[in-house]
Structure 1
Amino acid sequence: MTTDPAVPGRPAPGADAAQTPATLRRGELAKIIDHTLLRPESTGEEIVALCADAAKLGVGTVCVAPTHVYLAAASARQAGRDVEPSFTVASVIGFPHGTHLTVIKAEEARRAVADGATEIDMVIDIANAMDENWRAIETEITEVRLSVPPHVILKVILETALLPDESITAACRAAESGGAEFVKTSTGFHPAGGASLRAVRAMHAAVGGRLGVKAAGGIRTAQQALAFIEAGATRLGLSATRDILDGIPA
């Protein structure tokens, strides 16, 4: 498995973490999990608890709203005894609908990085995907990419439950052209649904290992998690992290 030089032990964005999902061990799976809490009513106390769980479970990343990035980053440093953060911090941009102006998304990304995020999950303007306006999608992705330092990982949320395979492919190409490191299925908040194996297979085929593929939204069991990895996911966004890891051999 190829590892990300910026995050020791973490698979590189486009690495095939799923060559043998049947033999994947708990610690290996934990490293490709974004342990996520994005409910709008989440309290600071819940974020601290999320981060404590992340450290205990050995996950690679926590994913929180922009208002909680500073707290999560401080928790990561504390868990790592202020030497090396125990996990990285991701935040969501243009969440959950993607209808923020591009300049607002770019500024939101800048602020999240300033507060300690090293990964950004941005929602595209979904209406542009419905209109097949791939140039507009590429432009906004490029603007967000340019707003943050090169070491920051950019993941692009496509809300794939709304899109046929050919649109997923085109959106993935726009994300790649815009400079993203990952494409991601879903916010988990759209009534159309979350991640699907169909979408992950289409994304994996489109990016060909050049970008990572993050499956997120509705993954609740170890069996589901392994199925998404087998389909081509190289990162998983989970809120049921502990239950899923409990179903994986140590």
Structure 2
Amino acid sequence: MAEFEYQDVAKMIDHSLLNPTLTTDDLEAGIQLALAYDVASVCIMPYYMKTCAQRLAGSTVKASTTIGFPHGGHTTAIKRAEAEQAIADGCEELDMVVNLSKVLSGDWDDVRNEIAQIVEIAHKAGQKVKVIFENSYLNDEQKIRLCEICTEVNADWVKTSTGYGSGGATQEDLKLMREHSGDHVQVKAAGGVRDLDTLLAVRAIGVTRCGASRTAEILGEARKRLGLPEIEATASDNSGY
């Protein structure tokens, strides 16, 4: 018997459509792929958020986008405006990048205040926030402090990376983040989850979401192992992460 059900793994995937060179045709194809495989969400470039939300309406696939992406150096006012616009456009989950410069500088009050503001905006609208750390530039002490802050301000997820830094999710980081985040905070892996076995491995750690562009390959293999029919859906594999 398989060690998972299809929905167990499909609803872990945030299908990433963040590569800035994707055309509108690519974005439309990616949305249709996400619907066909019934993933957790589509994480799309902010300018296409409204259209994406319209395409996903009535489905179980959520609309998500990025805030302060990919480097996190936007002012808090701009991140707030991005969050408000995204929610107005139908965004249900906001993937927000921390101010990496302030994290590395140890300006924890500013880091906490900014995360708290975006969480407050999202939660007031009934939506959720994933806080992106960019772990490849951080030491364990900094990662742990971010987990503590996200727990304190009731963020919904802590997330390893943007997919555009110098590295992606590692099992060591995921274990660290799970250990130091509150039970009400979930963990998302981004960058490096490119096959089903890796997805299952991070699931065993306690990861509930993964940013992925190789959705068709991962879930195609899942369906094959489970003896489910193949899904006829294709899209560009250069979407990010």
User: TM-score, normalised to structure 1's length?
Assistant: 0.85
**Which amino acid is the alignment partner of residue 44 of structure 1?**
T
Q: Which amino acid aligns with 1:180?
A: A
1:39 maps to which of 19, 25, 30: 19
In structure 1, distance between residues paired with 2:182 and 2:153 = 16
SS at match of 1:247: helix
Provide the rounded CA distance (Å) in 1 between the counterparts of 2:116 and 2:195. 35
Match of 2:160?
185
Report whether the alignment pairs 1:73 with 2:73: no
Deviations 1:144-182 (A, max 9, x none): 122233411111000011122221110111122233111
Equivalent in the alignment of 2:6: 26
Q: Is the counterpart of residue 161 in structure 1 residue 127 in structure 2?
A: no
Following superposition, the deviation at residue 49 of structure 1 comes to 0.7
Aligned pairs, number: 222
Gap runs ≥5 in structure 2: 227-241
Alignment map for 1:84-163 (pairs within 5 Å)? 84-148=58-122, 149-163=124-138
| % identity of equivalent residues | 35
* Cα shift at 1:127: 1.2
1:86 shift after superposition: 3.8
Question: Equivalent residue for 1:175?
Answer: 150
The residue correspondences of 1:7-26 to structure 2 (distance < 5 A) are 23-26=3-6
CA distance in 1: counterparts of 2:62 and 2:13, whole angstroms: 11
Tell me by how many angstroms 1:131 deviates.
1.8
Aligned partner (choices 204, 207, 216) of residue 181 of structure 2: 207
* Unmatched tracts of structure 1, length 5 or more: 1-21, 78-83
Structure 2 distance, partners of 1:24, 1:160, is 29
Q: Distance in 2 between matches of 1:103 and 1:176?
A: 23
Point out 4+ residue stretches in structure 1 off by more than 6 angstroms.
Answer: none
Q: Report Cα offsets for 1:16-46 as digits up to 9, x if no partner.
A: xxxxxx7122222101211111001112111
Q: Deviations over 1:207-234 (max 9, x none)?
A: 1422010001121111111111122211
Q: Does 1:242 align with 2:222?
A: no
Partner Cα distance (2:6, 2:183) in 1: 23
Kept in 2, the 8 Å contact 1:161–1:196? The answer is: no
Please tell me the residue identity of whatever aligns with 1:89: A
CA RMSD, 1 decimal = 1.4
Q: TM-score, normalised by structure 2?
A: 0.88
1:232 aligns with 2:206: yes
